[in-house]
Structure 1
Amino acid sequence: MADAGTPVPSAVADAGTPVPPTPAVPWSTSEPPTAATAPGGPGPSDTPAPPAPYIPEPQVEPPVQDPEPAADDGGAASADTGAADPVRPPALPGPAGESAASALLGTTRDLFFAMTAPDAGTGFAPREAVDLPPGTLPVAREDEDDLQLSWALLDTATGRWTGSADADSTRTEAESTIKAWLAADTLRAAAEAQRPVTDDERADIAAAVRASDDSAAERLYRRAGREDATDRLAAECGVSVATSRPGWWSFTQISAVDAAAILACVRDRAPDWPGGSELLTDLASITPDGRSGIHGLLPGAVAEKNGWTRHGAGFWNVNCVLAWEGRALAVLTSYPAKRDVEFGWTACRDVASDVLAADGVRMTPDVLADGG
Structure 2
Amino acid sequence: MPGTSAKLFGNAAQAKATSSPRAKMAMQAAPPPPTLRAGPVTAPATPAFERFGWAFMDLRTNQLAGSSNKDTMPNTTESMIKPWLAADYLSRLGNEQLSAAMRQTITSMIEDSNDEAANTVYKADGGLASIKRLIATCKLTETELGASWSETRITPADAVRYGKCIADDTAAGPTWTPWLLDKMRHVEGSVKDNTPSNVTMQGGHWGIVDALPESLAEETAIKNGWTYIYADSRWHINCLAINPDWILTVEMQFAGSQTYAGLQQGADACASVSRQLLYTPDV
Aligned to 2:107: 206
Moved more, 226-235 or 325-334: 226-235
* Structure 1 portions without partners, runs of 5+: 1-127, 363-372
- The residue that corresponds to 1:243 in the other structure is 145
Residue 250 (structure 1) shift: 0.5
Aligned to 2:124: 223
Q: Distance in 2 between matches of 1:140 and 1:221?
A: 34
User: For residues 164-189 of structure 1, what are the alpha-carbon distances to aligned partners after superposition, in whole Å with 9 as ceiling and x for unaligned?
Assistant: 11011111100100001101111111
For the pair 1:308 / 2:197, whether they are aligned, the reply is no
Shift of 1:322: 0.2
User: Is 1:292 the equivalent of 2:195?
Assistant: no
Between Structure 1 and Structure 2, which shows a larger proportion of strand residues?
A: 2
Deviation at 1:342, TM superposition (A): 0.5
**Pairing 1:40-51 to 2, within 5 Å after superposition:** none
Distance 2:56 2:175 in 1: 29
2:239: which partner in 1?
320
> 2:156 is matched with which residue: 256, 266, 272?
256
The structural deviation recorded for 1:144 is 4.7
Quick one: higher RCO (CA 8 Å, sep 6+), 1 or 2? 2
Structure 2 match to 1:354: 276
Separation in structure 2 between the aligned mates of residue 344 and residue 177 of structure 1, nearest angstrom: 14
Q: Give, in angstroms, the shift of residue 161 of structure 1.
A: 1.0
Change (3 A) 1:355 1:173: same
Structure with the larger helix share = 2
1:112 alignment counterpart: none
TM-score if structure 1 supplies the norm length?
0.55
The structural deviation recorded for 1:274 is 3.8
Shift in alpha-carbon separation, 1:226–1:341, aligned structure 2, 3 A: same
Secondary structure of 1:243's match? Answer: coil
Give the alignment of 1:143-292 within 5 angstroms: 144=46, 146-147=48-49, 148-156=51-59, 158-190=61-93, 193-240=94-141, 241-245=143-147, 248-269=148-169, 272-289=173-190, 290-292=204-206
What is the CA–CA distance in structure 1 between the aligned matches of 2:172 and 2:262, rounded to whole Å?
37
Counterpart-to-counterpart distance in 1, 2:107 and 2:235: 25
SS in 2 for 1:288: coil
Retained in 2: the 8 A contact 1:309–1:317?
Answer: yes
Equivalenced residue count is 224
Contact 2:222-2:240 within 8 A present in 1 as well: yes
Q: Is the contact between residue 151 and residue 167 of structure 1 (CA under 8 Å) also seen in structure 2?
A: yes
Query: What is the rounded CA distance, in whole Å, between the counterparts of 2:119 and 2:57 in structure 1?
Result: 29
Structure 1 counterpart of 2:228, which letter? R
Partner Cα distance (1:232, 1:149) in 2: 27
* Residues 138, 277 of structure 1: alpha-carbon distance in 2 compared, 3 angstrom cutoff: closer
| Deviation digits for residues 172-222 of structure 1 (CA, Å, limit 9, x no counterpart) | 1001000011011111111xx322222222111101100000111111111
* Matches of 1:277 and 1:145, distance apart in 2: 37
In structure 2, how many angstroms separate the alpha carbons of the residues matched to 1:156 and 1:196?
32
Alpha-carbon contact 2:110-2:184 (below 8 Å) kept: yes
**1:213-233 alpha-carbon deviations (Å, 9 max, x no partner):** 011111111111111111112
Distance 1:262 1:346, change over 3 A: same
RMSD: 2.5
Contact 1:186 1:201 in 2 (8 A): no
Q: Which residue of 2 aligns with 1:337?
A: 256
Aligned residue runs from structure 1 range 86-125, under 5 A: none
Amino acid at match of 1:260: V
Distance 2:79 2:130 in 1: 15
What amino acid is aligned across from residue 140 of structure 2 in structure 1? V
Structure 2 contact 234–255 (Cα < 8 Å) conserved = yes
In structure 2, what residue type is equivalent to 1:162?
A
1:361 offset after TM fit, Å? 4.5
Give CA deviations for 1:260-314 in whole Å, capped at 9, x if unaligned: 2212221221673444332222100001221224326163621100011111381
1:343 maps to a residue whose letter is Q
